[in-house]
Amino acid sequence: MLRFFFLVTTMLAATSAVTTMQEAQAIREIVKLLPDNNAVSPFSRTDVIGGIVRLAFHDAGTFDQAKPNESGRSDGCVDLNSADNAGLGRIINLLSPVVESNKEVMSRADVWALASAIAIKAALPNNEKIHIPIKYGRIDAVDATSACRETDFSKLPSAELSHQHTTTVFAERMGFTQTDITALMGAHTLGRADSKDSGYDGTWVRSSATFDNSYYNDIIRRPWNRETNNNGQHFWVDPNQDGTIMLNTDMALAFDIGDNDNVNSNNCRTRGRNNGYGGGGTRRNDCPSGNNADLVQQFADNQQLWYKDFSKAWIKLIELGYGFNKNETLTLPVGNEINIIIPTTNNVAGTPPSQRNNNDDDFILSGTTIRVTLSILCAVFFIMLITLTVYCCRRNSTKKVFQNSEDVVVKEVTVVNAPTPTEATAPNDQEMYAIVVSVPSNNCVDKNFE
């Protein structure tokens, strides 16, 4: 009975249109929850922004287009019994006051979807814009953490597999194109993996509270090697070790790192931009380019293109499963547009992207510089070694000529005033002698003695 009452209330809230005034009020409340860049406890800005975007993805990302009426969709519920959702309880709690104060006008799922768009906008670099209009009318599951339409178990993607798996989940089950998938994955430019939640540890990019295309640049322009952590999980690190990581499914966008069954036994590596993406497989154990490498390159080269494709795919994701039934359509807010200033990461603090990219370049160059310097040092060392060997060899031969006198046959001795360059001098004599000798054949013997 209680469930029925809850569902009717939610549906009533969901069917009456949200106004732009009501939306603006919810936005103001969400903005207040975003910590500034200096905050560390209980959440950093990265934690909250990344966590909100991940929450909206996990809410919607259990959808199955083959079972649109039964499967999970954006319904204000992530199953916290699933390990895939570890850590999301904190974000659900953080957003719950906004859910509570707006429950007469929008559902919990609507608040989560709206919060994701605000989090992304708050993470934009200065002067950048992204268009993510939110429609309202999502229908909530009874509770936020376990009563989801369908259990979330095994529905969300695994980071241990390859692009084959990403395609199964996003293209075959949810209906996304490869452009959509590649654009969506760029959300990993935000937030971080936490060893307490997923077992993985690190941010994907250095500026993890900024929604820019560094994720794509980093994949193809930095070198990556695969490692295994204590839990036996696989992830990729830059050999320069700066705490950033990539997961198999990230790397598999630009590189062919194998299929699901051999992805973790394939030890290929990447070398960064100097070799193009994938290194083209032209050098020993370099990963060849993957099917979506061109898309990764395009998003790396053109942030605006990525924003456009991301927003299209993101809207599609958070609206999945709605519109099949007439009474479940989502609608835009009604009323005049209200402009709300959302303080962005770079307005709050942080490094402008132009500067950050330069730093990235320096970083990559410094790696190359180190390699070039080491090569030059090795070459100099090698040349010195050869010179030293030749020198020692000649000295030994010279000694040998004088020490093993039985080998030396004196042919002719003449008194002269001074030695010439082709003559050797007899050590203990008062007068100068020219001694012509023959010695055994030896490559190291100085020709003066032949």
CB distance 273 to 364 below 8 Å: yes
Q: Residue from 45, 54, 135, 173 that binds ligand HEM (CB under 6 A)?
A: 54
Q: Where are the beta strands (DSSP E) in 296-408?
A: none
SS3 (DSSP) at 24: helix
What's at 192, amino acid-wise?
R
CB distance 299 to 309 below 8 Å: yes
Give the helix/strand (H/E) hosting 52.
helix 45-60
Stretch that binds ligand HEM, among 152-160, 337-345, 369-377, 395-403 (CB under 6 A): 152-160
Q: Residue 185 CB, nearest distance to ligand HEM (Å)?
A: 6
Give the helix/strand (H/E) hosting 21.
helix 20-33
Nearer to ligand HEM, 14 or 257 (CB): 257
Site string for ligand HEM, 85-104 (x = CB under 6 A): --x-----------------
Q: Does 72 bind ligand HEM (CB under 6 A)?
A: no
Q: Does 185 bind ligand HEM (CB under 6 A)?
A: yes
- Judged by CB under 6 A, the number of residues near ligand HEM is 25
Stretch that binds ligand HEM, among 5-13, 189-197, 210-218, 422-430 (CB under 6 A): 189-197
| Contacts of ligand HEM in 99-138 (CB under 6 A) | none
Nearer to ligand HEM, 41 or 339 (CB): 41
| Contacts of ligand HEM in 377-436 (CB under 6 A) | none
CA 222/CA 245 separation, integer angstroms: 11
Angle separating helix axes 108-122 and 45-60, nearest 10 degrees: 140
Stretch that binds ligand HEM, among 128-136, 181-189, 280-288, 365-373 (CB under 6 A): 181-189
Q: Tokens 């390859």 correspond to what residue? A: 162
Stretch that binds ligand HEM, among 139-147, 151-159, 209-217, 326-334 (CB under 6 A): 151-159
Residue 385 sits at φ, ψ, to 5 deg, of: -65, -45
Which of 48, 55, 127 minimizes the C-alpha distance to 303? 127
Q: Is the preceding omega at residue 42 within 30 degrees of 0, hence cis?
A: yes
Q: Residue 79 CB, nearest distance to ligand HEM (Å)?
A: 15
Q: Does 51 bind ligand HEM (CB under 6 A)?
A: yes
Nearer to ligand HEM, 10 or 203 (CB): 203
Length of the chain as a residue count: 450
Tokens of 352: 């402008």
| Contacts of ligand HEM in 240-259 (CB under 6 A) | 247, 249
**Environment class of residue 161 by beta-carbon count within 10 Å: exposed (0-12), middle (13-18) or buried (19+)?**
buried
Nearer to ligand HEM, 250 or 286 (CB): 250
CB distance 322 to 99 below 8 Å: no
Nearer to ligand HEM, 83 or 383 (CB): 83
Q: Does 290 bind ligand HEM (CB under 6 A)?
A: no
CA 103/CA 170 separation, integer angstroms: 31
Q: Tokens 């975007």 correspond to what residue? A: 53
CB distance 279 to 256 below 8 Å: no
Q: Does 197 bind ligand HEM (CB under 6 A)?
A: yes
CB distance 334 to 20 below 8 Å: yes
Nearer to ligand HEM, 169 or 287 (CB): 169
CA 431/CA 152 separation, integer angstroms: 104
Q: Residue from 135, 173, 188, 226 that binds ligand HEM (CB under 6 A)?
A: 188
| Contacts of ligand HEM in 31-50 (CB under 6 A) | 47, 50
Q: Residue 340 CB, nearest distance to ligand HEM (Å)?
A: 22
Q: Which residue's beta carbon is nearest to the bound ligand HEM?
A: 191
What are the residues binding ligand HEM (CB under 6 A)?
Answer: 47, 50-51, 53-54, 57, 87, 157-159, 166, 184-185, 187-188, 190-194, 197-198, 200, 247, 249
